[in-house]
Amino acid sequence: MPETLRASYRLLRVFLHLGYGIWITARYASPRVPRDERFRRRRAWYRRALKLCGVELEITGEPIPGSALVVGNHVSWLDIPVLGTRLDVRFLSKSEVARWPLIGWLARRNGTLFIRRGAHESEALIRDIGAALRQGDQVAVFPEATTTDGSDVRRFHARLFAAAVDTLSPVQPVAFAYGRDPDGGPPAAAFTDEIGLFRHAWRLLSRKRTFVRLHILHPVPVEPGTTRRELASRSRAVIRAEVVLPLRHEVAST
């Protein structure tokens, strides 16, 4: 199938699937609906969305139950639906998204936490994450605070770990490893500021397939006296070992 035709066909199906997501959210994203039922339908929606986009997903490891701060390397906007297929998490988003037509409504109904701008942004964010952790939720953050090409893991911003320290909640590291092109260049899924979102999405929809492996790693416990810098360093180390070392071995073997 020609690339343009493939992308157009997939885009149409994705829009239809988005409409189905609106119906699911309106019907099931309510406290009256059992928590397990809401999460089951949400995970199924994410899995179908990835399939429609031509994404092949492999998952290793099992997530821990109960509250946790979920942290991972950040490569693409695809990280969010990939993570949503297996973990029932609340994501962070810019406060502006809450005001977007339709998308803002979907985000709010599905428990998204919004990052506010201003002098007390960090304090408010930590309080919101801490409140979610105390009520048993899992909150996903990307401590690099930007996307990369996936060849390494940047320094983690320690302040995002403060809520885990305050609530003694474990940290659940996850690692995203996207398939790279045969020439050894960055994975096509890598999303940077050099290309707009729609153009990048169109490029992915044009591909026959996009492969990604999600590694759910052993949790990092939080003991009294653990500092947020220690948590950030330990979490980055286990993620980096899963992403960078296999990649270097692969490159060295070619």
Alpha carbon distances (Å) from 146 to 47, 72, 247: 24, 11, 20
Distant-in-sequence, close-in-space partners of 66: CB < 8 Å, separation ≥ 6: 136, 138
- Whether residue 63 is predicted with pLDDT greater than 90 in this model: the reply is yes
- Whether residue 183 is predicted with pLDDT greater than 90 in this model: the reply is no
- Whether residue 119 is predicted with pLDDT greater than 70 in this model: the reply is no
Query: What pLDDT was estimated at residue 120?
Result: 64
- Whether residue 247 is predicted with pLDDT greater than 60 in this model: the reply is no
**What pLDDT band is residue 85 in, cutting at 50, 70 and 90?**
very high
| Cα separation, 107 vs 25, whole angstroms | 10
Q: Which range, of 109-113, 150-154, 201-205, 238-242, averages the lowest pLDDT?
A: 109-113
Count of beta carbons in the 10 Å neighbourhood of residue 199:
9
- pLDDT tens digit sequence for 17-44: 999 999 998 888 887 888 889 899 999 9
| Cα separation, 71 vs 212, whole angstroms | 17
Query: What pLDDT was estimated at residue 195?
Result: 77
Domain boundaries, the chain: 55-253
Pick from 39, 28, 72: nearest CA to 236: 72
Partnered with residue 214 across adjacent β-strands are 59, 176
Query: What pLDDT was estimated at residue 53?
Result: 95
Residue 156: what residue type? F
Query: What pLDDT was estimated at residue 244?
Result: 78
